[in-house]
Structure 1
Amino acid sequence: MNAWLTQHRAAFVQAVRRLAGNPFNTLLSLFAIGIAMTLPAFGYIVLDNLRSLGHSASGGQQISVFMAQDASTAQVDEIRQRLQQLPGVNTRFVPRAEALERLQAKQDLADIVASLPRNPLPDAFIVEPTDISPAALDTLRNEIADWPKVAHVQLDTAWVKRFDAFLRLGKLALTLLAALFAIGLIAVTFNTIRLQVMAKAAEIEVARMIGATDAFIRRPFYYFGALQGALGGLIAAALVFAALAQLAAPVSELAALYGGDYRLRAPTGIEVAILTGLGAFLGWIGAQLSVSLSLRNFD
């Protein structure tokens, strides 16, 4: 076990030395990898922020339940209890008197409301489900509409379906983009490792002559590819943070103009770790392919 750890530690140190041995070329490769990973990573964060913004948009994910005018207090309380028993649903009751006061507060409607002989507005409930997929919203709306003394259930399903379709299209485009850049990252690592193997050809021949195994020869290159990919992932995360920092103020100002308070969500520590690990994995794949093909020339 100690010998195994010693071999891997030596291979890791050798890979670090190779990275530091040619800093200019290393930086160019790292930035090429980082930029390739930045675009899909930034796209993922943008889509996640759009999803969050869509969830918080007023009325987009709300179901308005209007009671019948002749509904008694007991019947309204019964509907309130049934709504509270639904899983994954937040409910807010809007009494008819409160709704009338809101209309009276609007200057352009104050005179009209004052001329009404009685309050024409019904009691209502604002239902906010946690599952806002179009299918789940339609199912919930149809269920509530069948309850007694429920006069009307309002839901802007067209808006929800359009927004959901947009997100699905964005996910598909992002997946294709990520696949293309993953291939590009593997290609960059492949070419870098191939050049290193060619430069170390004489050293590899001597190592084989004195009994070095292929695993021993491959190991430093694997670590080199994984380290290069991981560092490229960290650079990508830094670029995403920098881009979000530049967009934070304009987005907040735009949200304020529409009467909202929205802050862009930055990548979490787990997401940065996943991005770094993904870079290391793709770098390792590129190194494995490159070394496997390059060492065939020595057979």
Structure 2
Amino acid sequence: MNVWLTQHSVAIKGAWQRLLASPLNTLLSLLVIGIALTLPAAGAVLLDNLRQAAAGVASTQQISVFLSPEASRKDATELESRLRQEVSGKVQFVAREEALKRLQETAGMAELVDSLPRNPLPDAFILEPRNAGPEALESLAKTLSAWPKVAHVQLDSAWIKRFDAFLRLGRLAVLLLAAAFAAALVAVTFNTIRLQILAQADEIEVAKLIGATDGFIRRPYYYFGALQGMLGGALAVLLVNGGVALLAEPVSHLATLYAASFRLHGLGLGQSALLLGIGALLGWLGAQLSVGLYLRQIEPK
């Protein structure tokens, strides 16, 4: 066990020494890896923020239930009782007199309302169901339309469907972008390790002649690739969270202008750790491909 730990600690130390031996090359590689991880990570953060912003709006999605003109106040009371029993959520009754008063208070409508011979507005209910999913809202609206004394049910859920479709498309685009940049990250690590192997080809061949195993030769490069990928992931976390910090205040101010409360959030601790792990995994994969290809090439025929 001690021998195993010693071998791995030596390999990790050697990987750090290789990273520090050429700081400019290391910095350039980290920038490439960091940017490659930043773009899909930023896209995922953007979609998550949009989803949360839309959830706040969708949670207050309303259904307007308009009663028929001949419906009496008794009918409205009975319908309200039934709505409170069968609809899970907030139910608000708007009397026709109150609706007319609100219309009269609207700019430019006072004279028009005064000229009306009678109140043309019906009694209505404003519903805010707990389940604000598009399918659930449409099903509820269809059910309410069949109730007696209900003249019209108004629901605008088309935007929710469009937004859900947009989010699905966005997630697919982020996945494709992540796959493309993951391949680029593996290629960068592959090429970096390849150059190091070629520079140390004589040492590797001597080590093979005196009995060094493939695992002994591979190990330092594996750690180098993993460390390089992990550091690139750390840079990506800094870039994403730094961008979110710069945009948080303007976005919050914009939301305030629209009478809303919203604040951008960046990568959390778990998401940051995941991004570091993905970077390390892709770096390790690039190192494995590079070292494996070289060892196969130098094997005796």
Under TM normalisation by the shorter chain, which class is it? 0.7 to 0.9
Name the aligned partner's letter for residue 203 of structure 2: E
TM-superposed CA distance for 1:267, in Å, is 1.6
The answer to whether the aligner puts 1:83 opposite 2:83 as a matched pair is no
In the alignment, which residue of structure 1 is the partner of 2:204?
204
| Displacement after TM superposition at 1:150 (Å) | 4.6
Q: Is the 8 A contact 2:16 2:224 kept in 1?
A: yes
Determine if contact 2:15/2:221 at 8 Å carries over to the other structure: yes
> What is the DSSP-based 3-state SS (H/G/I as helix, E as strand, rest coil) of the residue aligned with 2:180?
helix
Alpha-carbon offset, residue 5 of structure 1: 2.8
User: TM-score by structure 1 length?
Assistant: 0.86
1:113/1:293 CA distance change after superposition, 3 Å:
same
Distance 1:115 1:77, change over 3 A: farther
Q: Which whole-Å CA distance do the structure 2 matches of 1:104 and 1:272 have between them?
A: 54
Seen in structure 2, the aligned counterparts of structure 1 residues 209 and 229 have a Cα distance that, compared at 3 Å, is same
Show the counterpart of 1:87. Answer: none
Partner of 1:108: 108
For residue 286 of structure 2, what is the aligned residue in structure 1? 286
Q: Deviations 1:184-224 (Å, cap 9, x if unpaired)?
A: 00100000111111122222222222322111211111111
SS in 2 for 1:165: helix
Structure 1 gaps of 5+ residues are: 85-89
Shift of the 291–219 alpha-carbon distance from structure 1 to 2, 3 Å rule, reads same
Question: Contact 1:233–1:278 at 8 Å: present in 2 too?
Answer: yes
Provide the residue aligned with 1:66 in structure 2: 65
Q: TM-score, normalised by structure 2?
A: 0.85
Cα shift at 1:32: 0.5
> Which residue number corresponds to residue 268 of structure 1?
268
Residues 34 and 234, structure 1, Cα contact 8 Å, conserved in 2: yes
C-alpha distance in structure 1 between counterparts of 2:189 and 2:27, whole Å: 13
Using the alignment, how far apart are the partners of 1:168 and 1:120 within structure 2? 41
1:38 match: 38
The structure-2 alpha-carbon separation of the partners of 1:283 and 1:99, relative to structure 1 and needing over 3 Å to count, comes to farther
Identity percentage of aligned residues: 52
How far apart, CA to CA, are the structure 2 residues paired with 1:229 and 1:16?
A: 13
CA RMSD, 1 decimal: 2.6
Gaps of 5+ in 2: none
Question: Whose radius of gyration is greater, 1 or 2?
Answer: 2
Q: Deviations over 1:249-295 (max 9, x none)?
A: 33223323323232112221111111111111111111111110112
Q: Which amino acid aligns with 1:68?
A: L
Counterpart of 1:169? 169
User: Match of 1:25?
Assistant: 25
Q: Displacement, 1:153?
A: 2.9
Is the CA contact 1:60–1:160 (under 8 Å) kept in the aligned structure 2?
no
